């Protein structure tokens, strides 16, 4: 890194068309110091790096010739750690990723991270839009567009079928499954949309096709979901009961059941299933069980239990993932503070 930094400073100085002495005076150091940097004898103190970046009109990261893989990791970590990115951070990441599209070895990562980058920015804008929409509704609660703006910001439910149906995603995943018939999850993404639109005969056909490539309990679970959507609740429960017997050591079967029970307001069962899923889950464990419990307890107005579940989330992140800071913990702290305010009213 020392050699790379020295070479970069020399490169930037020559590009700017200045001498070592001119750079030294601008930074209040001796020209011998600049010479040592460029000849890789010594390295600039970390405190002077911002001044060097300002002088050359670049970012501190630009001073280091990071490998492509390091750049990808840096962008991914930045999105994980930060809820919002500055305009410069976003532009730099966007520029690097778009430039990487021309390299076949990087194209997969570049497309993936570009999608994540724009979704990250969209999430940031949606939070801002939500705040403004709520302020507008406080001032004028009877303006339909104010409600529409809040719905869009929160990605809420839409009653108009033309906007609410999932036909575009269904068409995409039908084609995706045709092109990737051996990828089991593709069938799941397709069935989720078909069931949401009550296109149940189609969902049943997809479920049968999935059985040929997925030997887990997922096919049985979705077979039960289709029955439930048809109103055949006893049949669905029977299918799920057998699924749990056949896949009793698979934590995902319990997690799927927890989601299903929560979706039909059978909250106590949902929490029990999630506890079982968490118990069976290999390390590093996810925090889905604690997230679900917090949501359920808040719905039930049991704010103390919801807050306790949020603290459990932080404990799992620390012990299982060694995460002690970043946007996920910021989110949890924000939820704790929000619930404390509600419970104090």
Q: At what angle do helices 251-263 and 267-280 cross, to 10 degrees?
A: 160
- Whether the CB-CB separation of 237 and 223 falls below 8 Å is answered with no
**In this predicted structure, which of 4-18, 111-125, 179-193 has the lowest mean pLDDT?**
4-18
Query: pLDDT by residue (tens digit) across 40-88?
Result: 888 888 889 889 988 888 777 778 767 788 889 889 988 988 888 888 8
Cα gap 225→219, rounded to integer Å = 10
Please, what is the angle between helix 2-16 and helix 49-56, to 10°? 30
More confident residue, 305 or 71: 305
pLDDT at residue 3 in the model: 55
Task: Give the pLDDT of residue 221.
Answer: 97
138-164 confidence digits (pLDDT tens): 999 999 999 999 999 999 999 899 999
Instruction: State how far the Cα of 248 lies from the Cα of 244, in Å rounded to an integer.
Output: 5
pLDDT beyond 50 at 208 = yes
Confidence of residue 123 (pLDDT cuts 50, 70, 90): very high
- Do 113 and 76 touch, CB atoms closer than 8 A? yes
Q: Regarding predicted confidence, which is higher, 230 or 59? A: 230
**pLDDT beyond 60 at 2:** no
If you average pLDDT over residues 314-326, what whole number do you get? 91
What is the structure's pLDDT at 1?
45
pLDDT band, very low/low/confident/very high, at 333 (cuts 50, 70, 90): very high
Tell me how crowded residue 344 is: count the other CB atoms within 10 A of its CB: 7
Mean pLDDT of the chain: 93
As a whole number, mean pLDDT of residues 246-257 equals 96
59 Cβ partners below 8 Å, 6+ apart?
Answer: 53, 88, 92
Confidence grade of residue 23 (pLDDT, cut at 50, 70, 90): very high
């Amino acid at each position: 890194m020392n050699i790379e930094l020295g070479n970069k400073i020399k490169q930037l100085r020559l590009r700017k068309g200045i001498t070592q002495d001119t750079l030294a005076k601008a930074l209040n150091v001796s020209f011998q110091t600049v010479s040592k940097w460029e000849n890789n004898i010594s390295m600039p103190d970390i405190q002077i790096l911002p001044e060097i970046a300002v002088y050359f009109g670049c970012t501190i990261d630009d001073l280091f010739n990071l490998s492509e893989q390091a750049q990808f990791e840096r962008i991914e970590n930045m999105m994980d750690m930060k809820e919002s990115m500055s305009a410069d951070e976003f532009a730099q990441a966007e520029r690097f990723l778009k430039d990487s599209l021309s390299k076949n070895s990087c194209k997969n990562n570049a497309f993936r991270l570009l999608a994540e980058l724009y979704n990250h920015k969209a999430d940031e804008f949606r939070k801002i839009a939500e705040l403004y929409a709520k302020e507008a509704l406080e001032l004028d609660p009877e303006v339909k567009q104010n409600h529409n703006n809040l719905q869009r910001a929160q990605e809420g439910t839409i009653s108009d079928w033309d906007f609410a149906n999932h036909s575009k995603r269904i068409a995409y995943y039908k084609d995706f499954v045709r092109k990737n018939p051996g990828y089991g999850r593709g069938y799941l993404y397709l069935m989720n949309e078909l069931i949401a639109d009550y296109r149940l005969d189609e969902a049943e056909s997809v479920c049968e096709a999935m059985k040929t490539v997925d030997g887990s309990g997922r096919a049985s679970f979705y077979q039960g979901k289709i029955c439930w959507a048809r109103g055949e609740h006893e049949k669905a429960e029977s299918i799920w009961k057998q699924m749990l017997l056949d896949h009793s050591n698979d934590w995902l079967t319990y997690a799927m059941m927890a989601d299903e029970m929560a979706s039909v307001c059978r909250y106590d069962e949902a929490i029990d299933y999630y506890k079982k899923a968490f118990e069976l889950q290999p390390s590093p464990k996810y925090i889905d069980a604690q997230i679900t419990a917090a949501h359920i307890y808040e719905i039930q107005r049991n704010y103390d239990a919801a807050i306790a579940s949020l603290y459990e989330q932080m404990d799992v992140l620390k012990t299982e993932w060694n995460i002690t800071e970043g946007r996920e913990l910021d989110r949890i702290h924000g939820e704790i503070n929000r619930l404390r305010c509600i419970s104090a009213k």
